[in-house]
Amino acid sequence: MFGVLDRYLGKIIFNAIMITVCFLVSLSGMIKFVEQLRKVGQGEYSTLGAGIFTLCSLPKDIELLLPMAALLGALWGLGKLTTTSELVVMQASCFTRAQIASSVMKTAIPLVLLTMAISEWLAPLGEKMAYNYRNKMIYGGSILSRQNMLWFKDNNDYIFIEQIVGSHKLVGINIYHFDKAERLLSLRYAATATYSNGRWKLSQVEESYLTNDKQITGRQTFSEEWDTNLTPDKLSIVALEPSSLSISGLYNYVNYLKQNKQESKRYQLNMWSKIFLPLSISVMMLMALAFIFGPLHSRSMGMIVVIGISFGFLFYVLNQIFGLLILVYNIQPFFGALLPSLAFMIISIILLNYR
């Protein structure tokens, strides 16, 4: 599967991409660290804490920057081969452009595997550790939510949580129960809720019933069980940004939202974007080949790199724009995540075949 040419080109391109990843992630890390310094002094959050937060966030940065790094790294590696005339020698040695391009694209295989591992395990774990650590230092507890309050819907209940303290404890739970006609039937308030043995237990509960338009009855209990589909895992998913979740976590939460007839397109978009991330990396490497072998091959490497950076930035911007468009115009998230990669793939193929 991997011949001599595959291994030689693969080593050069892969090393160039890894160096580019390290450079871009270092820049991103420095910016994030400086941003975190603004929070130093809040609670027990220190400069060391800002450093720990930044380190835990690095896998997420790698995931975001890999497509750009694939483009720039492939351009750098192929540019070095062009400068030393090695690409010319390869073509003179009966290696066609198609064979060289195939060898370069095979480098995407380990990158895709690395991307999948980071996207599914390292990035979500790192993000959760980073925010839990920061919130613990600032607030003195493992607060999963980035905000102090949270609204969500569970079957016929609309629930407002004033504070999430740890994965198994909630403070200030307001449960509004409606019938199928969306008429409010009761309001239940609990001072705290704790999760144990697979069940939520409410404490210091006050409940009011709207028996009719003119009469309200109430009751108070010291504690009672809370029958809900919400689990600590789902709660942590609700509290985190969609981009911080794994593909499996997004898939499960999308199903949860659909079961409760809630809007899920934002989470679907992030799920499909993560699924198509390996494709994005492959397309960026194909774009690098198009710059080297296409109509720009006679230009200086400096100009090609500048154009490559511009296209990488354009790809990122298009991803963001398409994400907003599918939410505004009710387009299927699948197409919103796929179209930027598809558009750049078509452009790359046109450039490669340009004469």
Please write the tens of the pLDDT for every residue from 77-86.
Answer: 998 898 888 9
CA distance 134 to 51: 11
Is the same domain home to 13 and 66? Answer: yes
How confident is the model over 260-275, as a mean pLDDT?
Answer: 87
Q: Say which residue the tokens 């919400």 belong to.
A: 230
- Within a domain: residue 182? yes
Is the same domain home to 233 and 299? Answer: no
Is the same domain home to 80 and 154? Answer: no
Is the same domain home to 193 and 129? Answer: no
- Within a domain: residue 201? yes
| pTM summary value | 0.80
Per-residue confidence at 236, pLDDT binned at 50, 70, 90? low
Please name the residues in contact with 26: beta carbons below 8 A apart, sequence gap of 6 or more: none
Q: Say which residue the tokens 């007839």 belong to.
A: 261
The total number of structural domains in the chain stands at 2
Is the same domain home to 178 and 101? Answer: no
Residue 235 or residue 205, greater confidence: 205
List Cα–Cα distances, 95 to 88, 167, 292, in angstroms: 10, 58, 16
The average confidence (pLDDT) of the chain is 87
CA distance 238 to 235: 5
- Within a domain: residue 254? no
- Within a domain: residue 250? no
How confident is the model over 105-112, as a mean pLDDT?
Answer: 92
- Within a domain: residue 245? no
Q: Which domain holds residue 206?
A: 150-239
Is the same domain home to 217 and 322? Answer: no
Per-residue confidence at 143, pLDDT binned at 50, 70, 90? very low
Is the same domain home to 295 and 313? Answer: yes
Is the same domain home to 38 and 89? Answer: yes
pLDDT tops 50 at residue 128? yes
